[in-house]
Amino acid sequence: MTATLDTRKFDEAMRFYAAAVKKDSAHIINRQALNVLLKTVKLTPKADPKEIKGKLLRPDGKPNERVYRILSMRDSGGAFAEANAKKTSKGRKSAKLKVAKAFVGRRLRATGYIRAGWFTATSVLDRLLGKNVSLGSGAGIRKKFPNLTGHILTAKESEKPFAEFGSMAKAAGRVGRDALQAGMNAAATDMRQYAEKVMKETARKVAKVS
């Protein structure tokens, strides 16, 4: 997945948070990367099977004209094109219906697909930090899409530590971008609130001692 995000709010909150918690930079980066991912998973829209059926099926349960238009535009040279090349009208109709049904079936099975692309990075960071977070239906989604992967480079202590994560899910950049941006913004809010709480507690302790 490649997407352009506005990181200004997150970067500012990260600096504020780092000054308050006084932990090493790599730990902070990895912890907040996990926080972003967890929020992104929750915020990534999951397709509703009823909505998919409403968009792609006729009242009698057969694929509607929208399905055939999508296939005619996207499947040049593929199974739909082969079906369209059948010699008889009856053969073409039967073959195209079979391809259209298969298309609808794939759409229905793909609910949760975009979310699943984040689980590789989330699992690695979770193990690294020992958080044992619950991903809800994550195990089921991973089983549903066993070959779908993401990637993660965890932060190491260095002069300029950084973490990098991504999703290999198709359309993640289009569908998942807003969720990732919202996840970053939500993580930034968490960091700022926690940092303010720590600073107030520190100030209270100092005032009590003096």
Domain ranges (residues) in the chain:
8-45+113-202, 49-109
- pLDDT, position 127: 85
Distance CA 175, CA 114 (A): 8
pTM for this model (two decimals): 0.71
pLDDT in tens, 109-159: 766 777 778 888 888 888 888 876 655 545 555 566 666 667 889 999 898
Q: Which residues of 115-126 are buried (b: 16+ CB within 10 A; e: fewer)?
A: bbbbbbbbbbbb
To which residue do tokens 């999951």 refer? 46
Distance CA 35, CA 209 (A): 35
